Amino acid sequence: MNRAHTKKVTLLVLIFNLTVVNLSTKIHNITLKNPVMTASGTFGYGEEFADFIDLSRLGGIIVKGTTGERRQGNPYPRMAETPSGMLNAVGLQNVGVETFCREVYPRIKDIDTKIFVNVSGSSIEEYCHVAEMIDELDNIPGIELNISCPNVKKGGMGFGTNPDMAAQVVRAVRQVYHKTLIVKLTPNVTSVVDIAKAVEQAGADSVSLINTLLGMAIDVERQRPYLSTITGGLSGPCVKPVAVRMVWQVAHAVQIPVVGLGGISTAADALEFLMAGAKAIEVGTANFLDPTVTVKIVEGLEDYCQRHHIDDINDIIGII
């Protein structure tokens, strides 16, 4: 009886293992091996995590925000911990697009995953310049256009907070960039749906959301703000319900694929976004707490599908 039982278990395990779950999803014309990507500014160029995980297990990597010129970013202090989250004011510190293409790209181009460059700028010309240069790189199948940046020529107003300005920058980049164009939306707006529709109209192939929520924290002992810039971007588990809501709203309003992010740290979190309508997700702040978290999420998604007898992850995308 004991032996029979063992046999039965072995058989079950075998059958179980033979249930191949399809985790692969598509963003525009890019096939991701699974929906788990990493969020810009939280995963360096991927290299910083190579000691901890096999980077080829990831669906995609979105590298650091890249601008036309090298940027120093904001003065220290640039980070403050807040309940279940953190504020940052890094301010787009990066090596600039030329150094990226010349020095960084050759180091990372052969990582067996989809690598996207997060493109930032202070003017439409700068966005276009960066996008054009990235367009030349064979192993970068797409960019994520970060339109949360202030438009210096328009008095620092965020490109992403006004539908016309958002459409304008997307239209301009669309002219010069020929691969997959994901536009990353800011949550600091009255109607994220209006912005999403505007960038879809302007030629975006996909939208990702959310970027950080504008926040602020004060050190009452020292009687001053924690950040050198006074305000900064909130991220981490505390923003997740806001992000899920926005992803759900946008997924119902546009035809293009939606990439969801904001506070994801477990497979269950990722599933919330997928069910709300995201075709893929990005993991940000959670990488700081556990550099192996992305692979755990991939494994967790697989496990979930097996437990629920789902053989294709696409079957649960947008079910809410």
Ligand X SMILES: Cc1cc2nc3c(=O)[nH]c(=O)nc-3n(C[C@H](O)[C@H](O)[C@H](O)COP(=O)(O)O)c2cc1C
For other proteins, the binding residues (CB under 8 A) are 41-44, 48-49, 51-52, 72-73, 75-81, 83-86, 88, 90, 93, 236-237, 285, 287-292
Stretch that binds ligand X, among 29-37, 86-94, 100-108, 175-183 (CB under 6 A): 86-94
10 Å CB burial of residue 214 (0-12, 13-18, 19+) is middle
| Residue 214 binds ligand X (CB under 6 A) | no
If binding is defined by CB under 6 A, does position 236 make contact with ligand X? Answer: yes
Annotate each residue in 144-173 with x if it binds ligand X (CB under 6 A) or - if it does not, as one string.
--x---------------------------
Strands 60-66 and 218-219, bridge-based pairing: unpaired
Tell me the closest approach of the beta carbon of residue 41 to other proteins, in angstroms. 7
- Quick check: is 128 catalytic? no
Q: Is 274 in the site for ligand X (CB under 6 A)?
A: no
Least separation in angstroms between CB 145 and ligand X: 9
How far is C-alpha 108 from the chain's CA centre?
Answer: 18
Is 206 near ligand X (CB under 6 A)? no
For residues 4-33, which are near ligand X according to CB under 6 A? none
Query: Which residue in the list 128, 149, 238, 305 is annotated as catalytic?
Result: 149
Considering only residues 28-67, where is the footprint of ligand X by CB under 6 A? Answer: 39-42, 64-65
Q: How far apart are CA 151 and CA 40, in angstroms?
A: 20
For other proteins, the closer CB: 48 or 125: 48
Residues contributing to the site for ligand X (CB under 6 A): 39-42, 64-65, 88, 90, 92, 118, 146, 184, 211-212, 235-236, 239, 261-264, 283-286
Residues involved in catalysis: 149
